[in-house]
Amino acid sequence: MAVRCQRGVRRPASLHTRGNCVKRSIFSALSIAAVASATLAIVAPSALAADSSTTKVQSEEFTIYHDDDYKGGWCTFTDSDDSLDDNYWTNNSGACSDGASSMNNQTSHDIVLYSDRGYTGRTYFAKANSSDGDLTNNGFDNQAQSLKFL
Ligand SMILES: [Ca+2]
Ligand SMILES: [Ca+2]
C-alpha cells in the first residue's frame, strides 16, 4: 500500500494517506528524539563528572545537615533565606527549620543562623569557609529557622 502523502487532498480517500503521513511524521519525530537522547546519553556522564569534581571546590554553597557530622538529609543555600519552613531535607524528612545539627559554609560569606524566622531570635555565626560537625556545644542544635548571608 504505497500511498503518498499529499497536501490539499479533500476526498475521504485521503484517510489512508493521512494515517500514513501521521505515522511517518511520528516516526521521524521519534527518530529525532532517539538521536537527541542518544546524544544526551553520550554527553551527560562527562558533564556530570566535570560538575561533581569542580562544584565541590568552587560552589558557593552553604549547607546545613539534619544530623551531626554532616549526616542525614541536607539543605543547601546560595543566598539569605528568611524562613526555612519551605525548604526540605534532601531525604524527605520534612522542612529544614528547627533541625540543623551540623553545617558546612563553603561560601566566601560569613553567615548568621537565627533561631526564629525573619532573621530574629538567637544567633549562630558561621564564618566563611568553615564547618561545624556539631552545633550542640554552641547551643544551636535543631534551632535554625532563618539564615542571612553577610
Ligand atoms: Ca525558605
Ligand atoms: Ca538535627
- pLDDT for the residue 93: 83
Alpha carbon distance 120, 108 (integer Å) = 23
Virtual torsion, Cα 80, 83, 84, 86, nearest 10 deg: -110
Q: 56 C-alpha vs ligand 1 centroid, how far in Å?
A: 23
Pick the ligand that lies closest to the CA of residue 94.
Answer: 2
- pLDDT for the residue 83: 98
Pick the ligand that lies closest to the CA of residue 80.
Answer: 1
- pLDDT for the residue 8: 52
pTM: 0.62
Selection from 59, 65, 109, 107 nearest residue 84 by Cα: 65
Q: 144 C-alpha vs ligand 2 centroid, how far in Å?
A: 10
Terminal-residue alpha carbon distance, the chain: 72
Alpha carbon distance 120, 5 (integer Å) = 70
In order along its 150 residues, the chain shows pLDDT tens digits of 555 555 554 555 444 545 454 555 555 555 655 555 555 555 545 444 444 444 344 578 999 999 999 999 999 999 999 999 999 999 888 999 999 999 999 999 999 999 999 999 999 999 999 999 999 999 999 999 999 999
